[in-house]
Amino acid sequence: MAVYVDAAIWNWAGHRWCHLLADDTDELHRFAAQLGIKRSSYQGPPKTSAPHYDITGFERDRAVRLGATECSREEIVAVFRRVRVPNGKIKR
């Protein structure tokens, strides 16, 4: 299993942001906790179709140092499609 980050290109609130995704939601939460990201920052079903965290460029740099795989826009879209939850419904 792996954790992925795209480039920090999205400007908001004075920072550049990117996405943190993983092959498995539990792995995503563990990795985010390692980065010191609060669970309340999690974005997933039913609000969004793909489980992820939005992280700053600073957090992205730390994520890469901890082993996250850097992805191009095309690669992160492929990951998004692979991990998304159809119709925003959580798999049981």
Extents of the domains making up the chain:
3-88
Strand 3-5 and strand 69-70: pairing?
parallel
Q: What is the chain's length?
A: 92
pTM: 0.86
3-state secondary structure of 21: strand
* pLDDT tens series, the chain, 92 aa: 799 999 988 887 888 999 999 999 999 999 999 999 999 999 988 888 899 999 999 999 999 999 999 999 999 999 999 998 876 655 55
Q: Give me 38's structure tokens.
A: 């609060």
Q: To the nearest 5 percent, what fractions of the chain are helix, strand and coil?
A: 40, 25, 35
